[in-house]
Structure 1
Amino acid sequence: MKRLFIYPALAMVFFMNTASMCSSDSSSSSSSDPTPVINTATQGTWKVTSYIDSGTDETNHFTGYNFTFGSNNVLTATNGTNTYQGSWSVSTDDSNDDNPSSDLDFNIAFGSPADFFDLTDDWDVTTYSSTTISLIDVSGGNGETDILIFTKN
């Protein structure tokens, strides 16, 4: 009879420890509060260190550009010669068809040029830290995956 009591008790201890371990990662995107990601993005300038468009590496389209996530949702990309403006925001993900592990969308919009227009999407935040913001988008139409990684300058 004592054995029957021990197994459920051990299982409960295991699940409590697992839950507390999962919730302790401060750079996890499991929170639905966009404020920490916004605060991270607005600190300094960033560069695209990886842009994979449906399996094709297109990072070179952004070489030499610095991205500034400014106030009033203004996103600026400049390489010293060319400057492009777009918009950005971080919002709570309100759909269930995106990456289920992400509660936040990192929204980017550029009207031109074509290479920057490719960044226009509601990206899922996979991870972020003071030096890196990693984003992913799974296309609803064909299921292809795009990956975008910003690294702080």
Structure 2
Amino acid sequence: MSSSCSNNDDDGGVIDNSEQIAQVGNTVESGTWRISNFIDSGENETSDFTGYNFSFNSDGSLVAANGTDTLTGTWSVTDDSSSESNIDFNIFFPVPDTNDFEDLNDDWDIISYTSTKIELIDISGGNGGTDNLTLEKN
């Protein structure tokens, strides 16, 4: 009787997140989205984005519009450089630090996603505060 031992996944093999990255991208590119929850270091700032609809376009552009104001930024879904098994949801609006939309600029970790809801989290490296962002499809 003989047996063999193998450690397929314990040898530092690269985890391929490309399928999940594509799924999240396809999900968010469908329709418009709104912020249903935004907690910035314990402060509920959801109302800062009331009335804004977010369009995540396939060219990487991100448009937030409320009928009066329109802001254009960028978005992407990428491998998290600090973890092998996570992906980042990246949002960037080129606005001054005093603009509410600057608070959205981050490489968010995805907690969960469905076809109608995406839950994101970021733990600040600076002050250790936790931010939560939830997007829901309109």
TM-score by length of 1: 0.74
RMSD: 1.7
**Paired residue secondary structure (1:118):** helix
**Paired residue secondary structure (1:38):** helix
Letter in 1 for 2:132: I
**Paired residue secondary structure (2:59):** helix
Match of 1:75 in 2: 62
Q: CA–CA distance in 2 between the matches of 1:57 and 1:82?
A: 22
Matched, 1:124 2:109: yes
**What pairs with 1:2-151 in structure 2 (closer than 5 Å)?**
32-33=17-18, 34-96=21-83, 103-112=86-95, 114-151=99-136
Segments ≥4 residues shifted beyond 6 Å: none
Listed one character per residue, the Cα deviations across residues 69-98 of structure 1 (whole Å, up to 9, x for unaligned) are 0021000000011000000000011114xx
**Paired residue secondary structure (1:68):** strand
Letter in 2 for 1:105: D
Contact 1:31 1:103 (8 Å CA) reproduced: no
What percentage of residue pairs aligned between the two structures are identical?
53
Q: Which of the two has higher C-alpha Rg?
A: 1
Letter in 2 for 1:149: T
